[in-house]
Amino acid sequence: MTTEQPKPKMQRSRLLRLIVAVVVTIPLVISAIYMWALWDPTKKVDEMPIAIVNSDVGYGEGADRVDAGQGVAENLVKSGALGFELVDEQKAYEGLRAGDYYFVIQIPKDFSESLANIATVTEAPALISVTFNDYNTLKASSIGGSAMEKIQQSVLKGVAATTVGTLVDGVQSLGDGLRTAADGSTQLADGTTTLREGIENELAPGVGQATEGAGKLAAGAGTLSQGLYTLQAGTDTLGDGATQIADGIERLTGQIPLAQVEQLLQQAKAALPNASQLDTVTELIEGLKALQAGSRQVANELTDPNAQYRGGLNKLVDGGAQLSSGANELSAGMVKLDAGVAKLADGARQLDEGAGKLSTGLNDGAEQAPDFGDQDRRTSLASLISTPVGKEYKHVAQAQFNGPGAMVVILIIITMLIPIVVFMSFRGHRFVTDDEAPRSVRDIARRGLAVAGISLVAVWVLAALVWFFMLSPSPDPVSLWQVYLITAAATVMNVALISVLFTLFGYVVGAVTSLAWMMLQLFSYGGIWMYQTVPAPFQWLYWISPMTLVQKGYTASFNGVSGFWPAFVSIIVIGVVAAGITLAIVQWQNKRYQSLNAPGSSGDADTEILTPTP
């Protein structure tokens, strides 16, 4: 009869075993993750599949057309810095959601237009967007950001000809305009020369001739003056004659007492009954009086220079003579002056044409020359020219800074780590030896179900705490029910796999191998490090790791892409196979034990059978 030995306190307290399990496993996992984080993948990043989308439509026509986006895409592919693939936009973003590409580089539609017009001073460079999805892989964003800094030279090489060429074209256009202006200024100089020659050869002689004409006009005016003197003398003679006539008439009329005669005639008309004959006498007397006054007036008009007739006649004759002589000479001079002015007009016309060309050339050059603006804008433009292409990072779900993209990795870790901790919190058992009775199939199945139930509850609780209280914003998977299914399936699968290790190797070795298996998978499954960048043995492990299937299931459920059901079914199959292996191991151990301890066997003579501790 066997005597049951008292159990150590550690064996009796499940809480103490749980505390020990947590204290042991958590630092190991953190240390493993930190150790893997020190891995330098830069030698293998050229194998990372990266999608390039060239949405640039180009700018301009003919020889002036700019296709900077095509140049950038080709330079990136040729650089081989990453595993670049030039694809269309739909394929790129579908591949990003499915995990086929680690990130997407997209060249915008107006890329060439922005670069072609960079000399007009823009507020921002042409932006190339880089989109990451941390639901798929945590390190892709950080490695991608570092890689993008290194491949910036390839981008700048592709746009240098466009940005610098734009400024060179602008300066060249300015030079062409200035050369046109120079040609116009030459014609302007020719026009001014023609103007000078016209003035010297034509206008000046014409003015001289006009001066000569003026001299002749003066001579004619002198001749006219002499003639007028003669006319004046003749007028004086005529005036003397008129005066004498007036004096004679006055003497004649003075000998006749006209007043008395008029009085007598009035008396005679009154006394005579028929005095019509006297009217003739009266008229004669009136005529004599009028003749007397008129002759005197004529004499005054001919002799008095202040009289209207004599003064007006003198001015008219003088002015008419001067006008005739001067007009003739002036006409001759003006004919020559007109010829000189005509040539002056031709020179002025050439001057105007040259000035027009100068103005047009300068205006065209000014329009085509870059307008750099004030000092601040010139400083901004200098910065744009030195770095004409910027990067804009986008995240479907960012993991850094407690972002929702970390949820997939957290779920993968806890679906495996919690079952290990739960297994370790249960009472341990040693290796199965020839003298140790193994546990029954029923005990193993019961323990497996208990571990699975506790693990599921713990996973849901811990996942909910992280989901709602640690991540901001909370994750927003496309299919939440698929997340539930894949989490439950992964937890149960890991329980089955860990059960194999604990059943096969016992408590201590089973715990160590489970943790080692977890750490190896964390490094190789592709959710933290891109599997193309890890050493070759770990790349092989990627294809056989159950954690890889869990990652694919989460990728499908969070991103809403195909692949969920194949991953889910594969996880279930692995769990069932692992559970079957556990039961087969237990049956084999029991059969072996029974055969070794059967009556008459060589092994039961000196063997003390101990009742296994449940």
Token pair 């299914």 is found at 485
pLDDT value of residue 46 = 80
pLDDT tens digits for range 372-399: 555 555 555 555 555 556 678 888 888 8
pLDDT at res. 442:
83
Q: Give dist(CA 336, CA 313) in Å, integer.
A: 35
Q: What is the mean pLDDT of residues 397-415?
A: 90
The whole-number average pLDDT for the span 247-259 is 70
Shared-domain flag, residues 203 and 346: yes
Classified as helix, coil or strand, 484 is helix
Q: Is 59 helix (H, G, I), strand (E, B) or coil?
A: strand
Residue with the bigger pLDDT between 195 and 567: it is 567
Neighbour tally for 612: CB within 10 Å? 14
Rounded Cα distance between 478 and 556, Å, is 9
Residue 120: DSSP 8-state: G
User: What are the pLDDT digits (tens) for 223-235?
Assistant: 766 666 677 667 7
Mean pLDDT throughout 342-371?
66
pLDDT of 120 reads: 60
* Residue where the block lists tokens 């009472």: 427
Closest C-alpha among 136, 144, 138 to residue 51: 144
Percent of the chain with pLDDT over 90: 22
Domain shared by 343 and 411, yes or no = no
Report yes or no on 513 lying in a domain: yes
Is there a domain that residue 208 lies in?
A: yes
* 149 inside domain: no
Pair (496, 565) in one structural domain? yes
What is the C-alpha to C-alpha distance for residues 214 and 304, in angstroms, rounded to an integer?
33
Give the whole-angstrom CA distance, residue 523 versus residue 498: 18
Q: Is the predicted pLDDT of residue 456 greater than 50, yes or no?
A: yes
Residue-by-residue DSSP string for 303-322: H-TTSHHHHHHHHHHHHHHH
How many CB atoms are located within 10 Å of the residue 414 CB? Answer: 23
Tell me: the pLDDT tens digits for 485-518?
999 999 999 999 999 988 877 777 778 788 888 8
- Own/partner long-range contacts of 2-10 (Cβ < 8 Å, ≥24 apart): 2/608, 2/609, 2/610, 2/611, 4/611, 4/613, 7/613
Query: Does 569 lie in the same domain as 502?
Result: yes
Q: What is the spatial order of strands in the sheet that 126-132 belongs to? A: 83-86, 49-54, 103-107, 126-132, 389-395
Range of the domain at 276: 184-367
Q: At what angle do helices 407-425 and 546-559 cross, to 10 degrees?
A: 140
Q: Identify whether 427 is part of a domain.
A: yes
103-107/83-86 β-pairing: unpaired
* Distance, CA of 549 to CA of 345 (rounded, Å): 95
Instruction: Average the pLDDT over 569-577 and give the result.
Output: 96
CA dihedral 477→479→480→482, nearest 10 degrees, is -120
Answer yes or no: do 434 and 573 share one domain.
yes
Q: Is residue 63 part of a domain?
A: no
First-to-last alpha carbon distance for the chain, in angstroms, is 18
Residues 209 and 294 in one domain: yes
Residue 192 confidence (pLDDT) above 70? no
Q: State mean pLDDT over 571-575.
A: 96
Give Rg (Cα) of the chain.
63
Q: Please provide the average confidence, as pLDDT, over all residues in the chain.
A: 74
pTM over 0.85: no
- Among the residue ranges 13-17, 150-154, 238-242, the one predicted with the least confidence is 13-17
Class of residue 306 by CB neighbours under 10 A (exposed 0-12, middle 13-18, buried 19+): exposed
CB-count burial class (<10 Å; 0-12, 13-18, 19+) for 524: buried
Tell whether 304 and 406 lie within a shared domain: no
Please give the pLDDT value at position 92.
95
Most confident listed range (289-303, 444-458, 507-521): 444-458
The amino acid that residue 262 corresponds to is: E
| In 59-151, alpha helices (H) | 68-79, 89-98, 111-116, 139-150
Write the secondary structure of 448-499 as one string of H (helix), E (strand) and C (coil): HHHHHHHHHHHHHHHHHHHHHHHCCCCCCCCCHHHHHHHHHHHHHHHHHHHH
User: Do the strands 389-395 and 126-132 form a parallel or antiparallel pair, or are they unpaired?
Assistant: parallel
Q: Above 80 in pLDDT, residue 595? A: no
Spatial separation of the C-alpha atoms in residues 261 and 414, rounded to whole Å:
169
404 with 272, same domain: the answer is no
Please give the residue that has the higher pLDDT: either 601 or 418.
418
Reported confidence tier of residue 181, pLDDT bands at 50, 70, 90: low
pLDDT tens sequence across 523-537: 888 888 788 887 777
Highest mean pLDDT among 196-200, 243-247, 429-433, 596-600: 243-247
Q: Is the pLDDT of residue 10 over 50?
A: no
Residue range 527-553: mean pLDDT, rounded: 87
Q: What is the mean pLDDT of residues 358-368?
A: 65
| Residue 132 β-bridge partners | 103, 395
Q: Is 489 or 256 the better-scoring residue by pLDDT?
A: 489
How far apart (Å, rounded) are the C-alpha atoms in residues 308 and 301? Answer: 7
Same domain, 350 and 429: no
479 and 417 part of one domain:
yes
Helix residue ranges per DSSP H, 256-372: 258-271, 276-303, 308-368
Q: Which two tokens stand for residue 93?
A: 């973003």
Whether 449 maps to a domain, the answer reads yes
Confidence category of residue 168, pLDDT binned at 50, 70, 90: very low
- pLDDT greater at residue 364 or residue 494: 494
Quote the CA–CA distance of 504 and 114 in Å, as a whole number. 67
* Burial of 614 from C-beta contacts in 10 A (0-12 / 13-18 / 19+): exposed
Question: Tokens representing 400?
Answer: 């850094």
How far apart (Å, rounded) are the C-alpha atoms in residues 586 and 598?
18
**321 in the same domain as 204:** yes
Enter the tokens of residue 122. 């823009």
Query: Bridge partners of 126?
Result: 389
Decide: 155 and 72 in contact? Cβ < 8 Å: yes
pLDDT band at 588 (very low <50, low <70, confident <90, very high): confident
Q: Treating both helix axes as pointing N-terminal to C-terminal, what angle do 480-524 and 536-544 enclose, rounded to 10 degrees? A: 150
30: in domain: yes
Please check the confidence at residue 563 and state whether its pLDDT lies above 70: yes
| Predicted local confidence at residue 604, as pLDDT | 46
Alpha carbons 174 and 523: distance in angstroms, whole number: 61
- What pLDDT does residue 235 have? 73
Residue 559: predicted pLDDT = 93
Is the Cα torsion angle 534, 538, 544, 549 positive or negative in sign? negative
**Looking at residue 374, what is its pLDDT?**
56
Domain assignment present for 59 = no
| Range from 19-23, 142-146, 222-226, 292-296 that averages highest in pLDDT | 142-146
pLDDT of residue 605: 42
Position 119 scores a pLDDT of 58
Q: Output the pLDDT for position 431.
A: 44
State pLDDT tens for residues 331-340. 666 667 766 6
- What is the domain count for the chain? 2
Residue 109 has pLDDT above 70, yes or no: yes
Q: Which structure tokens are listed for 454?
A: 């506790």
pLDDT category, 316, cuts 50, 70, 90? low
How large is the average pLDDT for residues 98-127? 78
Please give the distance of CA 31 from its chain centroid, rounded to a whole number: 47
The answer to whether 593 and 432 are in contact (CB under 8 A) is yes
Identify the CA nearest to 337 among candidates 205, 194, 192.
205
**In the prediction, which pLDDT does 612 show?**
38
The stretch 545-562 carries a mean pLDDT of 94
CA 457 to CA 323: how far, in whole Å?
A: 132
pLDDT at residue 427, rounded to an integer = 63
443 lies in the same domain as 560 = yes
Task: Single out the residue in 367, 390, 410 at which a domain terminates.
Answer: 367
Q: What is the pLDDT of residue 371?
A: 56
SS (H, E, C) 503-560: HHHHHHHHHHHHHHHHHHHHHHCCCCCCHHHCCHHHHHHHHHCHHHHHHHHHHHHHHC
HSE-CB of 505 using CA atoms within 13 angstroms: 13
